[in-house]
Amino acid sequence: MALAATESGLNRVGFNQPEASFFAQLDRMARTERDPRAIAEIAGQLAEYFAGRRTVFDLALDWGGVGAFQRRALEAALSIPFGQTFTYQQVAQAIGKPKSSRAVGQAMARNPIPVVVPCHRVLGSDGSLHGYAGGLERKAILLKLEGAM
Amino acid sequence: MKTNRVITLQDALGSPSNAALHESRRVVDGWFEQAAPLIRWDRVETPIGPGGD
């Protein structure tokens, strides 16, 4: 898993993608520097999450590059507790756009901070996993880890 | 017969000198080092696989 953070907070989480693809998602007007110490807190919380010892992340997020609608949808996903799931339709209703479930799905599919922003907790209205940028298998792993499947 | 020819900036102004190019790149590099935001990154292993490989 690749993690990238600005001074404002965690900006990108990438997995299952080539390095060039990950860097292409970052701000092209920014310098990049590999710095494990700067990422240590984020990496530590993720390690606790995957070990089943953390259910809530306490991390600053940098929403740079995320549009207003997508941010609202992702912030709604942030409010879904560990181990619970919502549907795209429920998220659309929660953000006051009840007819935008398809757009919510696209917003989740393009989530730049997966796992920490738990778009994996959002399912189709029939309970199906639907799309996940990291692949449906990974979405299932995360839901199983949280006891939601 | 008339032909429409696109006049490029290079046609009109000529190519910049090597010295001008060097100075321009120096200014841009200086800005990048001093003012461009810094993104720090790293890779970690997780049960859902690596990333940025």
The whole-number average pLDDT for the span A15-31 is: 86
Sign of CA dihedral B7, B11, B16, B21: positive
Question: Lowest-pLDDT range, A18-22, A100-104, B3-7, B32-36?
Answer: B3-7
Residue range A30-77, pLDDT digits in tens = 999 999 999 999 999 999 999 999 999 999 999 999 999 999 999 999
Smallest CA–CA distance, residue A13 to chain B, in Å, is: 8
B3 pLDDT more than 70: no
Q: How many CB atoms lie within 10 A of CB A47?
A: 14
Question: Cβ–Cβ of B44/A145 closer than 8 Å?
Answer: no
A81 plus A133 within the same structural domain: yes
* Average pLDDT for chain B: 83
Asked if residue A139 and residue A73 are part of one domain, the reply reads yes
- Residue of B35, B24, B23 lying closest to A31 (CA atoms): B35
Is A112 found in the same domain as A82? yes
pTM for this model (two decimals):
0.84
Q: Kind of pairing, strands A9-14 and A2-6?
A: antiparallel
Instruction: Determine the distance from the C-alpha atom of residue A61 to the mean position of all C-alpha atoms in its chain, rounded to a whole number.
Output: 11
Q: Which structural domain range is residue A89 located in?
A: 68-145
Cα separation, A111 vs A71, in Å, equals 9
Among residues 62-101 of chain A, which lie with CB inside 8 Å of chain B?
none
Q: Is position A109 within any domain? A: yes
How do A31-34 and B38-43 pair as beta strands? parallel
Q: Are residues A44 and A82 in the same domain?
A: no
Does residue A59 sit within a domain?
no
Both A46 and A73 in one domain: the answer is: no
Decide if A12 is inside a domain: yes
Task: Please tell me the predicted confidence (pLDDT) of residue B10.
Answer: 79
Assigned domain for A58 exists: no
Average pLDDT estimate for B19-31: 93
Q: Please check the confidence at residue A16 and state whether its pLDDT lies above 90.
A: no
Nearest to B36 among A29, A38, A142 (CB): A29
Half-sphere exposure of B20 (CA within 13 A, CB side): 4
pLDDT band at B52; cut points 50, 70, 90: very low
pLDDT at A131: 74
Q: Are residues A77 and A33 in the same domain?
A: no
- Residue B2 clears pLDDT 80, i.e. is over it: no
Find which of B38, B39, B45 to mutate to test the A interface (most A CBs within 10 Å of its CB).
B39
Based on the domain organization, do A74 and A134 belong to the same domain?
A: yes
Do A46 and A72 lie in a common domain? no
Confirm whether A129 is domain-assigned: yes
Looking at the structure, do residues A8 and A35 belong to the same domain, yes or no? yes
Contacts of B51 in chain A (CB under 8 A): 1-2, 13-17, 22
- What interface predicted TM-score (ipTM) does this complex get? 0.88
How many domains does the structure of chain A reveal?
2
User: Residue A45: inside a domain, yes or no?
Assistant: yes
Residue B53: the pLDDT is: 36
* Shared-domain flag, residues A79 and A123: yes
More confident residue, A130 or A81: A81
